[in-house]
Structure 1
Amino acid sequence: PSRITAVSSKKQRELAQAIKRARFLALLPYAVK
């Protein structure tokens, strides 16, 4: 719930995309090898 995290749904969506992007970038080096 946003009440617990104190983050609006819009911010939560941005956060999710940022995490997804970070995870993708973190996996890139392994994919290259």
Structure 2
Amino acid sequence: FCHLRVAQGMVARCAIILSRFGVASINCAARR
């Protein structure tokens, strides 16, 4: 279960990062 909790934490952090810099990443992809 510990590994599952860690995985959930990573997903949560990734979700926050994507929500914050998602627009920037999309713009970079569009430029490419």
- Establish whether TM, by shorter chain, passes 0.5: yes
Q: Per the shorter chain, which TM-score range?
A: 0.5 to 0.7
Structure 2, unmatched stretches of 5+, are 25-32
Alignment TM-score, normalising by the size of structure 2: 0.58
Query: How many equivalent residue pairs?
Result: 23
Greater helix percent: which structure?
A: 2
Q: Cα RMSD between the aligned structures?
A: 1.1
Over 3 Å off, 4+ runs = none
Alignment TM-score, normalising by the size of structure 1: 0.56
